[in-house]
Chain A
Amino acid sequence: MWISSLVVTLPSDSKRALAITESLRAIAVITLGEARGVRLPVVIEASDGVTSRYWYQWIESLPGVQHVELAFVSFDESDEALKIDSDGAPSPLAVGCGMPGLFVGEEEAK
């Protein structure tokens, strides 16, 4: 399971912003947060990195979207792609985006 979050910058025109918000709300794997002005937090749940990226690019391509910033990426141990080290590298290796307190390892999830 891949969980990532983004900040989508909406257009200042409220009608267009609403249209984008509604498009996003219609997608089951996307959860919307509370917008701060034109900046809308969004969480994507996807089965793998490729699907996650597909949604990222789809959002980016929506007419009127000004900018998309990645805020958080995490991925699950069960993902084949993570079998990266024969020496027992940490898995999952959690990576955050530079905002405070966002590191997720197996221990915290329990």
Chain B
Amino acid sequence: MSANATTSRRNFLKSAAMAAASALAADSVFGEAVNPVPPGGNELPVLPNVTWDKAPCRFCGTGCHVMVGVQDGKVVAVTGDRQAEVNKGLLCVKGYHVGMVLYGADRLKTPLLRKNGELVPISWDEAIAVIAERIHTAPQKFAIYGSGQWTIPEGYAANKFIKGGLSNNHIDPNARLCMASAVTGYISTFGVDEPYNCYDDLDHCDTLLLWGNNFAEMHPVLFSRVVDRRLRGESIELIDLTTRHTRTSQQANHVLVMQPQSDLAIANCIAHQLIERNAWDREFVEGFCNFRGPGTPASLKGEPITFEQYRAEVSQYTIERTSEISGLSPQQLTLLADRFADKSRKVLSLWCMGVNQHTQGTAMNNLLHAIHLLSGHFGRPGDGPQSLTGQPSACGTVREVGTLAHALPGGLRVDDEKGRQIAEENWKLPAGRINPQPGYHTVLMWEKFCSPSDTEGALDTLWVQVTNPGQSLPNLHKLFNRKADLDGKFLIVSDVYPTATTELADLILPSAMWVEKNGIFGNSERRTQQWYRMVSPPGEARDDCWQMIAVAHKLFELNHEGMKDRDGNFLFTQRDESGSEIPLWEWEHYYDINIDERLYEEYRQFTRIKHKDLAPYPVLAKARGLRWPVVELQDGTWKETRYRFVEGTDPYVEPAKRFQFYHSVTGDDRALIWFRPYVVPPEVPDEEFPFWLDTGRVLEHWHTGTMTMRIPQLQKAMPTAYVEINRDDASELGIRNGDAVKLITRRGELTLPAWIDGRASCPPGHLFVPFFDEKLLVNQLTLEAHCPFSKEPDYKKCAARIERVTL
């Protein structure tokens, strides 16, 4: 490029940049009636030969929508979608760069089979045959480990294949590691999973109370909605209840630094205060709630208790005792109780991994619902409890499709006869095909895979799709690395890049990703989002769903009975308009029809069972996502639901009921107010390991960094993991910023740089390490102890020691 051209380009870019900032400075993005989208949505830039289409962002559970610009078969531009209610055109730094995720230099492009210790390229035919042969030989020793990043049709196909085809329930997703506690919390409180409310709450709350949730970094676009309100002059109080100062704390009115695990005591203390002050909502509670205690021994179902019993239980959590447990001052605890006691304010509680990745995760979810129900802070926009998810389709593909070891689509369970019958009917299976025994949950699945083959219940073949357990499982030495020393184990990994998991894989399958395939996600607020394939995958990479169907058909060819429906047809038979079967298992024919649409429409019949009705595919294709239940109105249009269980917004609430929890555990349309006690965590700091170790994410990287670390801008912005340490602790140990330090727990050790008072800061005795860096695997150190009900491990607290490394 000549000097003149360079200058003119720079000037052009500068003026474009200034125009962007000026437009943003002038706008209040989330304000009502501000910056309306012109009819027809002509907000897209006009670029020669670039076509645009919509898609949800590939990364987090917020579910922002992007517009993707394609030129000559390549993604060339990405912009926030101004027609999308979730983000109104905004994106975070990951979203800006999402298009680049397709173009990392080391994309996997051909199947690779390990032969004599070396990975060698093989054909797809050979790869499919190898998998089918392994499964055919020992179907009960086979498992699938899936993902909250699977699209809905992918997860549905995998679920049908293993549960309906192989009569085997060993399928579980990585979402077990991030939101399983929210599931058990919702089910045990309301009788049905998923939030009753939606992101609109952010636009209406007076107080936003964050429970162990670094909202500013983890759900940055949602956080912008709050910041935007403040910039418009609205008063919104932000209370950050946290174990360390984060970017979220910087914006908070009150930062309450609590001891790990003490959230249980704090929630009970709030309940106690409400009752003591007679500030609980008697009318709401008497009209719409029952009380429940944990039972002996504690269980997910618990046992009914009276109000007086509940009152006696929570009365143990006085301000004084809770202050001792939590480290919060009496004034801080009083402040929390004041907010719940004040019915004139709308209080929104938000949580994500801090509450869910917790050995008492279900209990903590129960308690958050309890304080909202007890105080009556429930049901108005801006006034309620809401969990957030980390993955783009943890809700859609895992919770709704039921890709968990105990579940079936639509909220049905394998251990429930009626649920099995419905699934067998919908899948046209012979009666009794579905196994009533729940399969292995994630931690157990990997324990069984990392056990010698002759051990009772051992798994020998495990197929991983769209996730990276070699980096994200807790206690990696025990749950993953052991595989390397065992004979007879076969690990299949479908992925887009080499990862810590492919390191130990015996067979690697190159996958298509994001807009290289059709897809449907379901985000944190019950919003189902559809997109179309826009570009081709590189090399021989192919859709995960095709891989599953091709293996199923190979088994069908091997005469595996499970791959036939009750009429003897292939489990995934699809026909064209003339009635001829389409050979979907042949890649050349996979896109002869829109298989996503076919699978989705088949799945949709399950969604009505628990009032989670989804819109028809063509309706979804036109929308920027719709929040279920989506029902058809008399005029033929389709209406989404913002608030479930609330009269006037939820079509399933009967007239004059006000609130109706129609899947109530107690069968009387009431929700449960749970008492769950404070329990000491399984591992606490001691003399040998005197620090708390907490792990998590950072703004720039998504989960294990396999995608974002390949985007140069994000990699450069946050190139390496680090250990965050308190300044006084560092000085006592002679550690300076950037020093190499050794972090040791009972499960392993890791050397990494120290960061003192960096982006965030820890209180004394507390360390934090992000888990995105594949070269510094902090999960070699974490604990696999998990919630007894949700089976979700606690990545947020274990005991550690730190030492300066002397070179």
Contact = CB atoms under 8 A, between A and B. Distances in A.
A42 to B, nearest CB: 6
A104 B91 CA distance: 17
B133 to A, nearest CB: 33
Contacts of A101: 19, 43-46
A81 B89 CA distance: 27
B656 interface: no
Interface in B138-191: none
A81 B79 CA distance: 21
Given A36-B26, A49-B716, A89-B103, A71 B77 contact: no
Interface in A1-51: 1, 3-7, 9, 31, 33-36, 38-43, 45, 48-50
A95 B96 contact: yes
Contacts of A98: 79-82, 87-91
B75 interface: yes
Interface string A88-110: 01100111111111111101111
A109 B12 contact: yes
A62 interface: no
A105 B712 contact: no
B291 to A, nearest CB: 43
B534 to A, nearest CB: 13
B25 A72 contact: no
A36 B9 CA distance: 27
22 contacts: A3-B10, A5-B18, A7-B25, A39-B24, A39-B25, A71-B20, A72-B21, A73-B96, A74-B16, A82-B712, A89-B102, A90-B74, A95-B77, A95-B79, A98-B89, A98-B90, A100-B82, A101-B43, A102-B16, A104-B13, A105-B50, A107-B47
Given A53-B716, A72-B17, A94-B77, A103 B47 contact: yes
B590 to A, nearest CB: 22
B224 interface: yes
Given A69-B24, A84-B104, A108-B12, A97 B45 contact: no
Contacts of B105: 83-86
A97 B96 contact: yes
B22 to A, nearest CB: 5
Contact of A85 (B48, B81, B89, B104): B104
A89 B74 contact: yes
B195 interface: no
A91 B93 CA distance: 19
B633 interface: no
Nearest to B64: A98
Chain B: interface size category: 35 or more
Given A33-B25, A90-B71, A102-B45, 5 more contacts: A5-B18, A43-B14, A95-B100, A100-B44, A103-B77
B97 A95 contact: yes
Nearest to B28: A39
Contact of A70 (B46, B48, B96): B96
Contacts of A95: 77-79, 96-97, 99-100
B5 interface: yes
Interface string B672-712: 00000000000000000000000000000000000000101
Interface string B98-125: 0110111101000000000000000000
A77 to B, nearest CB: 8
Contacts of B20: 5, 71-72, 96-97, 99, 102
B72 to A, nearest CB: 8
Contact of B16 (A70, A82, A104, A107): A104
Contacts of A42: 21
B516 to A, nearest CB: 13
Interface string B1-43: 1000100111011101111111111110000000000000001
Interface string B47-67: 110100000000000000000
Contacts of A84: 100, 103-105, 710, 712
Given A86-B105, A93-B76, A103-B77, A41 B22 contact: yes
B713 interface: yes
A85 B713 contact: no
B717 interface: yes
Given A7-B24, A98-B91, A72 B16 contact: yes
A33 B75 contact: no
A101 to B, nearest CB: 4
Interface string B381-395: 000000000000000
A109 B716 contact: no
A97 B80 contact: yes
Contact of B43 (A41, A72, A100): A100
Given A108-B12, A109-B8, A49 B713 contact: yes
Contact of B21 (A7, A49, A108): A7
A71 B103 contact: no
B504 interface: no
A94 B710 CA distance: 16
B629 interface: no
Contacts of B538: 87
A49 B96 contact: no
B45 A67 contact: no
A3 B76 contact: no
A39 B227 CA distance: 13
A33 B183 CA distance: 48
B24 A71 contact: yes
B69 interface: yes
A110 B5 contact: yes
Nearest to B716: A49
A70 B82 CA distance: 16
B103 A33 contact: no
A89 B27 CA distance: 34
B76 A105 contact: yes
Given A42-B21, A53-B716, A3 B103 contact: no
A33 B5 contact: no
Contacts of A34: 22
A71 B16 CA distance: 10
A101 B79 CA distance: 9
A86 B105 CA distance: 6
B231 interface: yes
Contacts of B22: 33-34, 36, 41
Contacts of A71: 17, 20-21, 23-24
B713 A103 contact: no
B567 to A, nearest CB: 45
Looking at B17, B19, B75, which has the most chain A CB atoms within 10 Å of its CB? B17
A69 B712 CA distance: 20
Given A97-B20, A97-B91, A100-B45, A35 B77 contact: no
Nearest to A96: B79
CB-CB nearest 8 A-B residue pairs: A98-B80, A41-B21, A98-B89, A81-B712, A89-B103, A5-B17, A72-B20, A5-B21
Contacts of B100: 84, 89, 93, 95
Contacts of A110: 5, 8-9
Nearest to A86: B105
A31 B14 contact: yes
